[in-house]
């Protein structure tokens, strides 16, 4: 049993936020809402899917017959490149702060196959996704300070299209999460003379209890401050601050780490494990970004089974995050999950 199996709080050094850990609550009976399991019999090509090769999208654009990744400008993007005419008359009262926001939104289809999520792709196919992320990051970061690459997997996470895909949102303002991480990492470096996540990687590799997987270049860990039940942090072991710095070896190792992590996620409850994940990279307009370390956050909501999720409500919304499953227990469950996807006939090791 972990040494942390008692009620306590933990601080997230990247944001300054706290999480309440209450391991004993995981034993309480569950009579609340359950979620529907994701369908497991999707076709390889769906004629009604706007993301499949050759199909029409909502704006009457026809997708090419792509056979790898496919990127297009989001037909319903949350950001537009133009400044609205109304921006010249924005409110200046500090109680009603407002600023114009411009940018670009893109969609990245991971594969032409409608029924293949990341863990069901080969490492080489995931490497194509990594290369596509890198290409779009480099292109957009030349124009925008903040580039968010992310994926919402599963209907429970609000994903409106089952075809496996992610998104890229780029803008010049720093998003709230990036602002928090920017301030925290810079302050840590100024106080301690070292890189926050570099130090964190060293500590976790020595401790080992929360490490889920690692290879030569990447570490997957259930972070000490995790708020979601099976939350993980995927962080570079090397001094890499953004996608533009990735070498071929680092990109291939990243594809391997994603393959292992997402496969183990699916194998925890033998289901298509939903999550929201996103990459945090150094803002491109910094004169000095040495305090940054490239990393991704995975936030999966499932708690007890394929149909029972963690709800961030009540205390979580009005006070601070709270979790029932300790990060150490979650890491042990993920470490013990098989690296062979359950659809290939293998269950837990």
Active site residues: 165
Cβ count near 203 (within 10 Å): 11
CA distance 113 to 155: 18
Q: How far apart are the first and last CA of the chain?
A: 20
CA distance 156 to 289: 36
CA distance 274 to 306: 9
Distances in whole angstroms, Cα of residue 48 to Cα of each of 39, 55, 114, 199, 347: 16, 8, 11, 49, 33
Element (DSSP H or E) covering residue 180: helix 176-192
Structure tokens at 186: 């810079």
Cβ count near 319 (within 10 Å): 10
Residues in the chain, overall count: 349
DSSP lists the bridge partners of residue 11 as: 18
Q: Max alpha carbon distance in the chain (Å)?
A: 62
Q: Among residues 170, 157, 158, which one has the least CA distance to residue 78?
A: 170
Q: What is the helix, strand, coil percentage profile of the chain, to 5?
A: 30, 20, 50
Is 57:50 a contact under the CB 8 Å cutoff?
A: yes
Is 119:251 a contact under the CB 8 Å cutoff?
A: no
């Amino acid at each position: 049993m972990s040494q942390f199996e008692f009620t306590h709080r933990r601080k997230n050094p990247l944001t300054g936020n706290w999480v309440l850990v209450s391991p004993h609550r995981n034993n309480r009976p569950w009579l609340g809402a359950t979620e529907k399991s994701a369908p497991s019999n999707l076709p390889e090509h769906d004629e009604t899917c706007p993301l499949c090769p050759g199909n029409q999208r909502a704006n009457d654009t026809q997708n090419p017959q792509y056979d790898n990744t496919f990127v297009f400008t989001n037909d319903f993007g949350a950001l537009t490149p133009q400044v609205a005419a109304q921006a010249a008359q924005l409110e200046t009262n500090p109680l009603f702060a407002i600023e114009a926001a411009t940018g670009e939104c893109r969609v990245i289809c991971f594969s032409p196959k409608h029924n293949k999520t990341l863990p069901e792709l080969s490492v080489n196919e995931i490497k194509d996704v990594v290369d596509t992320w890198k290409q779009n990051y480099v292109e957009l970061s030349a124009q925008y300070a903040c580039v968010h690459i992310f994926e919402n997997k599963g209907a429970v996470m609000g994903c409106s299209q089952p075809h496996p895909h992610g998104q890229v949102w780029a803008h010049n303002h720093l998003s709230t999460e990036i602002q928090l991480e920017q301030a925290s990492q810079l302050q840590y470096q100024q106080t301690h003379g070292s890189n926050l996540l570099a130090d964190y990687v060293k500590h976790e590799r020595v401790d080992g209890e929360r490490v889920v997987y690692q290879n030569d270049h990447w570490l997957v860990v259930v972070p000490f401050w995790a708020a979601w039940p099976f939350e993980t942090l995927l962080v570079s072991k090397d001094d890499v601050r953004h996608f533009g710095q990735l070498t071929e070896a680092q990109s291939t190792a990243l594809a391997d780490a994603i393959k292992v992590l997402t496969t183990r996620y699916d194998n925890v409850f033998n289901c298509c494990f939903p999550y929201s994940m996103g990459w945090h990279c150094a803002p491109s307009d910094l004169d000095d970004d040495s305090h940054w370390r490239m990393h991704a956050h995975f936030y999966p909501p499932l708690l007890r089974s394929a149909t029972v999720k963690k709800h961030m409500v009540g205390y979580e919304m009005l006070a601070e995050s709270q979790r029932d499953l300790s990060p150490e227990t979650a890491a042990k469950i993920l470490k013990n999950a098989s690296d062979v996807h359950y659809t290939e006939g293998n269950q837990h090791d």
